[in-house]
Amino acid sequence: MVLRKIHLEQSDKEIFTSHGGLTLLGQALGLARLDTQLKSLGRYQGMSHGDILKTYLGLLCTGKSDFEAAEGARNDPFFHAALGIKQVPSAARLRQRMDERALEYARAIDEVNLMLLERIQAQVSPLWTGHVPLDMDLFPQDNSGTKKQGVSYTYKGHDGYGVMAAYLGTEGWCLTTDLKPGSENGQLGFGFVLDRILPAAKRLTGSPLLLRVDSGHDALENRVRADREGIAFLIKWNPRKQSPEQWLEYAQSLGHWADWTQPRAGKRVVTFSVYETHEWQGRDYTHRRVMRVIERTIDKQGQHLLVPQLQLDGWWTSLDLPDQQIIALYRGHATSEQFHSEFKTDLDLERLPSGKFDTNTLVMALGTFVYNLLRWIGLEGLIGAQSPVRHPAKRRRLRTAMQELIYLAAKFCQRSNQLRLRFSAHCPAFDAFTRVNAQLAAASG
Spatial CA neighbour of 207 closest among 176, 236, 230: 230
Residue 339 in domain: no
DSSP letter assigned to residue 71: G
Position 207 scores a pLDDT of 96
Euclidean distance between CA atoms 50 and 11, whole angstroms: 31
Q: Which sign does the torsion angle of CA 15, 21, 23, 29 carry?
A: negative
Whether residue 376 sits in one domain with residue 308: no
Which burial class, exposed, middle or buried, applies to 298 when counting CB atoms under 10 A from its CB (0-12, 13-18, 19+)? Answer: middle
Asked if residue 297 and residue 381 are part of one domain, the reply reads no
Q: How many domains does the chain have?
A: 2
End-to-end CA distance of the chain: 52
Whether residue 122 lies inside any domain: the answer is no
**Considering the domain boundaries, does residue 133 fall inside one?**
no
In this structure, are 312 and 246 located in the same domain?
yes
Same domain, 315 and 361: no
Q: pLDDT at position 270, please?
A: 96
Please tell me the predicted confidence (pLDDT) of residue 65.
94
Which amino acid is located at 171 in the chain?
Answer: E
Report the C-alpha gap between 336 and 344 in whole angstroms: 13
Q: State whether 256 and 311 are in the same domain.
A: yes
In the prediction, which pLDDT does 390 show? 67
Instruction: Report if residue 97 sits inside a domain.
Output: yes
CA–CA dist 420, 413 (Å, integer): 5
In this prediction, residue 444 carries a pLDDT of: 80
pTM here? Answer: 0.93
In a domain, 344, yes or no: no
Residue span of the structural domain in which 81 resides = 15-117+357-444
361/298 same-domain check: no
Q: Same domain, yes or no, for 48 and 112?
A: yes
Q: Hey, what amino acid is at 109?
A: I
* Residue 154: inside a domain: no
* Beta carbons within 10 angstroms of residue 143's beta carbon: 21
Identify whether residues 302 and 365 lie together within a single domain.
no
Using CA of residue 164, residue 361, residue 347, residue 166, what is the dihedral sign? positive
C-beta of residue 435 within 8 angstroms of C-beta of residue 43: no
**Helices in 277-381 by DSSP H: which ranges?**
323-331, 336-341, 357-381
Contact 273, 321 (CB under 8 A): no
**CA 231 vs CA 208, 221, 237, 276, 336: distances in Å:** 7, 14, 18, 19, 20
Q: Are residues 315 and 364 in the same domain?
A: no
CA-CA distance, 149 to 154, in Å (whole number)? 14
Quick one: which of 220, 296, 242, 231 has its CA closest to 264?
A: 296
The reply to whether 314 and 371 lie within a common domain is no
User: What pLDDT does 14 receive?
Assistant: 64
Cite the beta strand spans of 182-246 per DSSP E: 209-213, 232-236
Give a yes or no: residue 343 inside a domain: no
pLDDT of residue 12: 61
Per-residue pLDDT of the chain (445 residues; tens, 9 = 90+): 667 665 555 556 667 788 889 999 999 999 999 999 999 888 887 889 999 999 999 999 999 999 999 999 998 888 999 999 999 999 999 999 999 999 999 999 999 999 999 999 999 999 999 999 999 999 999 999 999 999 999 999 999 999 999 999 999 999 999 999 999 999 999 999 999 999 999 999 999 999 999 999 999 999 999 999 999 999 999 998 899 999 999 999 998 899 999 999 999 999 999 999 999 999 999 999 999 999 999 998 899 999 999 999 999 999 999 999 999 999 999 999 999 999 999 999 999 999 999 999 999 999 999 999 999 999 998 887 777 776 777 788 999 999 999 998 888 887 777 888 888 888 888 888 889 988 998 888 7
CB-CB contact of 372 with 25 (8 Å): no
Report how far residue 323's alpha carbon sits from residue 312's, in angstroms, rounded to the nearest whole number: 15
Distance CA 219, CA 235 (A): 9
Strand order across the 418-423 sheet = 15-17, 410-415, 418-423
Q: Considering only CA atoms, which of 220, 188, 241 is closest in space to residue 289?
A: 220
Task: Say if 172 falls within a structural domain.
Answer: no
367 shares its domain with 289: no
Q: Are 273 and 367 in the same domain?
A: no
Last residue of a domain, one of 294, 319, 344: 319
What is the DSSP pairing of strand 209-213 with strand 232-236?
parallel
